Structure 1
Amino acid sequence: MGVEKHKILMVSDFFYPNFGGVENHIYYLSQCLIKLGHKVVVMTHAYKNRVGVRYMTGGLKVYYVPWVPFVMQNTLPTFYGTLPIMRTILIREQISLVHGHQAFSTLCHEALMHARTMGYKVVFTDHSLYGFGDIGSIHMNKVLQFTLADVTQAICVSHTSKENTVLRAGLPPEKVYVIPNAVDTAMFKPAQQRLCTDEIVIIVISRLVYRKGADLLVEVIPEVCRLHPNVHFIIGGDGPKRVRLEEMREKHSLQDRVDMLGAVPHAKVQSVLVTGHIFLNSSLTEAFCIAILEAASCGLLTVSTRVGGVPEVLPDDMVVLAEPDPDDMVRAVTKAIYMLPHIDPQAMHIRMKKLYSWHDVAKRTEIVYERALRCSNQELLERLSRYLACGAWAGKLFCLVMILDFLFWRFLQLWQPDEDIEIVPCLQLTRSNRGDETCDLNDNERSDGVHGRKD
């Protein structure tokens, strides 16, 4: 007996044309779910002139709702402003389940709240790690506790991320599943043949911000260059810490040994990776780190800080881990340099194809959807009891927010009954569920277009 086909709404502030781990996860997961026969619709905010409905590869339909980013690609919290358009999309597309992504997404939190008010099953995927001590993390953890108090099921990208989310949101561990990210191995391939040279190239591709350990790089790079005269660094990325790296290069006269590429479009990341031998990740916190997968798929040996879910990503012979300390990172880079003669990029790429597949991620996500849809519906009073348990004052505030949301939804039902909202015909392309199906897309399929028109 086959798996029942679903109609899924993916919601997040982070999606194409923006590029990052969350954006790629939503895109590739959606494409694979479509290939498995499900209908998938994405809801995100407008990006400049990208407003309205767009169609992407495989018939993936994207609603760019007319909300503009407020800060860091997030929309301004409205609480109830998104309910009318959210309700219309859910009814028009005959959605059966809502899947929100990223704890930092305002649109995700509001969508999950509205969906539960209207009786839909919801799944949430957390892509990040947060602390417990600083003001920002405390605030975000309380918001997450509110959102997940009534979530049907949750997904984390690593076991470390699961522990973090369970502690932050007070979720029962049995409601949280671990499904890792994956990599498009058709896009990230090693070079057919590397140039025979004594030079060792270390690649860094990252946002140059504090969280990504840019300050560590300022101390690590000069010392590595001093110890290994044949090492050359290529740094791709931009951010507020770029100035510090440029000052470091000037101070130590490393202009001929450290190349600063600036921001690298995702489509060109592979062409940068294949020029190197070692990939250096200096993050101070990571739930998973897709960049490591992309580098390993291109045949690079990885040196990374031992933080978050990073130790879970690669086998021990494909990565050298270090504490987020300059001296330990220099030691790890030195160890990686001595390991290079034993690294076969093509063999590493083949292993990555077996270890990480978006098709496997989609199949495992299907199971979570099935379990979420089997959960029983609960009345408003039952749901309010869970919000009330979120804190002496916060619990009462959360209950008030949900009661007002419920009343606003009832008002919208009277103002515009469900039957007055036109149902869209299902034009989404689906493909048969074959055992050998993969979700790797060739370069021609990646362009976003409306009925074949490239933007």
Structure 2
Amino acid sequence: MPYNIAMISDFFFPQPGGVESHIYQLSTKLIDRGHKVIVVTHAYQGRTGVHYLTNGLKVYHVPFLVIYRESTMPTVFSFFPIFRNIIIREKIEIVHGHASLSSFCHEAILHARTMGLRTVFTDHSLFGFADAGSILTNKLLKFTLSDVDHVICVSHTCKENTVLRASLDPLMVSVIPNAVVAENFQPLAYTPRSQEPDHNAVKSMSRRLGPGDTITIVVISRLFYNKGTDLLIAAIPRILASHPNVRFIIAGSGPKAIDLEQMLERRVLQDRVELLGPVRHEEVRNVMTRGHIYLHPSLTEAFGTVIVEAASCGLYVVCTQVGGIPEVLPRHMTTFAKPEEDDLVQATGRAIAALRSGKVRTERFHDQVKMMYSWTDVARRTERVYDGITGAISEDEFYGHHPGSTWSATRGRAGVQSYALIDRLKRYYGCGVWAGKLFCLCAIIDFLFFLLLEVWAPRANIDIARNWPRKPFINDKNKPVGNGVYWRRAYNDRMDRRNGSIR
């Protein structure tokens, strides 16, 4: 069954990043499978209004005040009129929010539930439980996810973290990893397996690095504390001192960039460390193929798409053993280190020695990554989540049979959350002694605001947007069913039976 879906997040192109790439790739693959997808984000550098991207993906850039790291200022209610207008114009059925730190995401899920829409949330990050920022973020997440239909996490570690932070039933959380477009991250001398002459020829193509050959270590990351920039700054001089024929290429920007530059000037390492500054996502492959090792010193990471891209480019990966990183790549592609300076230096030394000895066969990495990760598979699994929350498949089929399992009286059955205001208030009230009452107040005000908007800006006065021609809907057997015109008419008939109401 095709759906009309709105992806909501503060983080989207032209800003580069893992969340941004995830939303774009997932949206285009869902469009390929016959669904209608739009993206709602804030304005970027003068990019305001409606824009069309490849594959007919429509993006709404809403002009809102950005306060920190591309996150908009939380206003709770001021986004509602614009959001409601977009939802009605595009006849949206499912609202899919992304990222715990996105104000747009949290507000959109609240407003969508008030309007009677199905909601999904995807968590891309890991957070702690002790510091003030994490406590506030976790309380906000608990508020939002108390009334969401389903949650998606990008790794099993991320799932455990989200379940604990938001006090969720684990059955309400699915794990769907990120992916990579392997064709966009090919090694320089890549030869498709079907064109390889024989095994001996392939073996001869991989030349062992000698003691005098230069090994280039690539780092592509936002230069923030949580990305391990301080750890990188401390490790670089020690790595270069121990290995004379090693050089670094570092791409990225952030508040820690000045610390990195000062270290290079103080140690006089400018001739061995090349700083590229920020690079566009389409330029990442060209940077990676200049290296032999990819170094990822992150202190916290839910998945780490960049290390998959690095392995696809034929780089041996050295990364910290934190978060969901150990789940991403097999052992023969990576060398793990503790998030400590000494261990990171030692792990990098082991990786350099492994490359020089020829123990690591990086020429096979690309084909292996291509088999492991596919955005088409991610879209298919996400589509199954949509089927589960809309009732297109049975609850037993979606969640599996769990003898003796019971659902909370306040949450209802997972994935079949009630739209009734009284049921929503019961779920919010259980979020805390004082927070629960505040959340209930927000939900009541949001509902009253919605009724006011229904009178002040009637649905009949909102023009319905014309749809981009739909592709044939692809079923679970990857076979097209019907055509775009058929599904568009079927959807219009379904909406007519609702008397023109989204609810």
TM-score range, shorter chain: over 0.9
Match of 1:370 among 387, 399, 414: 387
Q: What is the CA–CA distance in structure 2 between the aligned matches of 1:429 and 1:48, rounded to whole Å?
A: 31
- Where does 1:75-224 land on structure 2 (aligned, <5 Å)? 75-192=72-189, 198-224=213-239
- Of 83-92 and 318-327, deviating more is 83-92
Rate the CA distance shift 1:237–1:376 in 2: closer, same or farther, 3 A.
closer
Match of 1:309 among 324, 334, 356: 324
Cα RMSD after superposing both structures: 1.7
Q: Which residue of 2 aligns with 1:426?
A: 467
Q: Which residue of 2 aligns with 1:258?
A: 273
- Say yes or no: does 1:357 pair with 2:374: yes
Contact 1:58 1:430 in 2 (8 A): no
| Identity rate, percent | 53
Residue 43 of structure 1: CA displacement?
0.6
Q: Which residue of 2 aligns with 1:69?
A: 66
Residue 267 of structure 1: CA displacement?
1.7
Q: What is the CA–CA distance in structure 2 between the aligned matches of 1:379 and 1:14, rounded to whole Å?
A: 31
Say which SS state the counterpart of residue 186 (structure 1) adopts. helix
Q: What is the CA–CA distance in structure 2 between the aligned matches of 1:376 and 1:327, rounded to whole Å?
A: 50
Q: Which residue of 1 aligns with 2:397?
A: none
Q: What is the CA–CA distance in structure 2 between the aligned matches of 1:144 and 1:239, rounded to whole Å?
A: 26
- Of 59-68 and 196-205, deviating more is 196-205
Residue 24 of structure 1: CA displacement?
0.3
Contact 1:153 1:175 in 2 (8 A): yes
Cα distance per residue 1:140-182 (max 9 Å; x no partner): 1111010110000000000010011111111111100000000
Q: Which residue of 2 aligns with 1:450?
A: none
- Where does 1:328-343 land on structure 2 (aligned, <5 Å)? 328-340=343-355, 341-343=358-360
Contact 2:332 2:360 in 1 (8 A): no
- Where does 1:225-244 land on structure 2 (aligned, <5 Å)? 225-244=240-259
Cα distance per residue 1:101-160 (max 9 Å; x no partner): 000000110000000011101000001111111111111111101011000000000001
Contact 1:302 1:320 in 2 (8 A): yes
Q: Which residue of 2 aligns with 1:441?
A: none
| Aligned length, in residue pairs | 434
Q: What is the CA–CA distance in structure 1 between the aligned matches of 2:385 and 2:256, rounded to whole Å?
A: 40
Q: Which residue of 2 aligns with 1:8?
A: 5
Residue 425 of structure 1: CA displacement?
2.2
Contact 1:58 1:429 in 2 (8 A): no
Q: What is the CA–CA distance in structure 1 between the aligned matches of 2:65 and 2:57, rounded to whole Å?
A: 22
Cα distance per residue 1:175-196 (max 9 Å; x no partner): 0000000011111111117998
Q: Look up the equivalent residue of 2:171 and give its one-letter code.
A: E
- Say yes or no: does 1:50 pair with 2:47: yes
Structure 2 gaps of 5+ residues are: 191-205, 392-415, 480-503
Say which SS state the counterpart of residue 259 (structure 1) adopts. strand
- Of 162-171 and 427-436, deviating more is 427-436
Residue 85 of structure 1: CA displacement?
1.3
Q: Look up the equivalent residue of 2:430 and give its one-letter code.
A: A
Contact 1:92 1:424 in 2 (8 A): yes
Contact 1:34 1:430 in 2 (8 A): yes
Q: What is the CA–CA distance in structure 2 between the aligned matches of 1:142 and 1:293, rounded to whole Å?
A: 32
Cα distance per residue 1:19-55 (max 9 Å; x no partner): 1111000000000000000000111111132111111
Contact 2:217 2:247 in 1 (8 A): yes
- Say yes or no: does 1:348 pair with 2:389: no
TM-score (norm 1): 0.92
Q: What is the CA–CA distance in structure 1 between the aligned matches of 2:442 and 2:130, rounded to whole Å?
A: 26
Say which SS state the counterpart of residue 299 (structure 2) adopts. coil
Residue 224 of structure 1: CA displacement?
1.2
Residue 419 of structure 1: CA displacement?
3.0
Q: What is the CA–CA distance in structure 1 between the aligned matches of 2:187 and 2:447, rounded to whole Å?
A: 53
Contact 2:142 2:166 in 1 (8 A): yes
Q: What is the CA–CA distance in structure 1 between the aligned matches of 2:150 and 2:478, rounded to whole Å?
A: 28
Structure 1 gaps of 5+ residues are: 438-455
- Say yes or no: does 1:387 pair with 2:428: yes
Rate the CA distance shift 1:432–1:87 in 2: closer, same or farther, 3 A.
closer
- Larger radius of gyration between Structure 1 and Structure 2: 2
